[in-house]
Amino acid sequence: MDIAPLSFPDIEKSRPLVLAGPCSAETEEQVLETARRLVACGIRIFRAGIWKPRTKPGSFEGVGKDGLKWLREVKQETGMYTSTEVANARHVNEALKAGIDILWLGARTTANPFVVQEIADALLGVEIKVLVKNPVNPDIELWIGAMERLQISGIRQIAAVHRGFGSYEKGLFRNLPQWHIPIELKRRLPGLTLICDPSHIGGRSELILPISQQAMDLGFDGLMIESHFEPHNALSDKEQQITPEFLKNLLNSLVIRETSDSSESLNELRREIDEIDERLLDLISMRMSVAREIGRYKKQNNMPVLQPKRYEHLVTERLSQALGLELDEKFVELILEAIHEESVRQQIAVFNKD
């Protein structure tokens, strides 16, 4: 995919690129006062939702296109770039008319290819920056597919926003980070600008700093953070919004480790890792060849491939070994499961042969 990094002629290229502003535009005063205080804190890109996707009817669903006027005032008065969420072609047309600089597709929209295509069609040939939030469900193909649709419409500056993934269990996070997914995205699309939204991952203001730090440590390019001049009075997402001044302190306390991979001791450690990986693969390959041997034996002796008792025994033994090896139990379970699944697949292949 031919994607250009998100760039602004008058914003320094250093990490993190920050977008901040309220979850929702609520009143002209709230929008302008928040923007003035953000700009005083050094923030150059303003965000505010005008059309809000809400889980339940009757919640505050945004002020609609009235809010676009306020965003235009933000731009005129503070010189900030403005951004808002679009969820259909009408939103796109209104936002373009109002001169919004950056559009974003929300998590619920990315999950719906019909709507993404409608938005991509409305953007055909338009020069604008578009951010694509991850879909609510942990599906990297859906995320990439949405970006591809925009790219086919001629959008060049596309960035991905990691806002966490929905789950039935309510734990520490509002949306599970599942960091491996944005990491895999970056591996597959190395030039893509990757932004983390710690507000929607954490759901609580005290989690924003640790999540932002983790995103920086993982090499993310930017952060989208919800900020409101009076968080306790916010009409949506009040637990996760912070004041512009709190945001400034938070950004100042981030440790930005710049990536440089030239040190000799790091190279030495990496060589060690490569050797271990090589041995691991050799061992797995040996294990599979024994599994195929067992498959042939079971076939000759009319035994079924799956022997649940044997698998249980194997897992118990290995988990007790893991205890003494500083290995996380869940992690070991995951590896054993993957290896066992592949062994079964290979045994079935032996069964099906001649």
Q: Is 147 in the site for Mn ion (CB under 5 A)?
A: no
The answer to whether 237 contacts Mn ion (rule: CB under 5 A) is yes
CB atoms within 10 A of CB 353: 10
The residues, any chain, with a CB within 8 Å of residue 207's CB and separated by 6 or more, are 172, 173, 198, 201
236 neighbors 198 (Cβ within 8 angstroms): no
Q: Name the residue nearer to ligand PEP (CB basis): 149 or 163.
A: 163
Toward ligand PEP, which CB reaches closer, 207 or 350?
Answer: 207
Report how many residues bind Mn ion under the rule CB under 5 A.
Answer: 2
| Closer residue to ligand PEP (CB): 111 or 251 | 111
Burial call 4-39: b when 16+ CB within 10 Å, e when fewer: eebeeeeeeeebbbbbbbbbbbbeeebbbebbbbbb
The verdict on 23 binding Mn ion (CB under 5 A) reads: yes
Residues that bind ligand PEP (CB under 6 A): 23, 49, 53, 106-107, 133, 163, 200
Shortest CB 329 distance to Mn ion, Å? 35
| Interacting partner of 133 out of ligand PEP, Mn ion, none (Cβ under 5 to 8 A depending on kind) | ligand PEP
Structure tokens at 271: 């060589």
Q: Which does 163 bind (CB under 5 to 8 A by kind): ligand PEP, Mn ion, none?
A: ligand PEP
Stretch that binds Mn ion, among 146-154, 206-214, 234-242, 290-298 (CB under 5 A): 234-242
Query: Which amino acid, residue 274?
Result: D
Binding segment toward Mn ion, per CB under 5 A, in 16-24, 54-62, 67-75, 296-304: 16-24
**Closer residue to ligand PEP (CB): 107 or 115:** 107
Q: Residue 105 CB, nearest distance to ligand PEP (Å)?
A: 8
Let me know how long the chain is: 354
Least distance to ligand PEP, CB of residue 88, Å:
14
Name the minimum Å distance from CB 10 to ligand PEP. 25
Give residue for tokens 């953000």.
38
Which partner from the list Mn ion, ligand PEP, none does 31 bind, CB cut-off 5 to 8 Å by kind? none
CB-nearest residue to Mn ion: 23
Query: For residues 149 and 162, which CB has a smaller minimum distance to ligand PEP in the complex?
Result: 162
Cα–Cα distance between 235 and 258 in angstroms, integer? 38
End-to-end CA distance of the chain: give it in Å, rounded: 43
Of 106 and 295, the one with the shorter C-beta distance to ligand PEP is 106
Beta-carbon contacts of residue 244 (< 8 Å; ≥ 6 apart): 20, 34, 37, 38, 40, 41, 43, 227, 229
As a whole number of angstroms, the distance between CA 158 and CA 253 comes to: 28
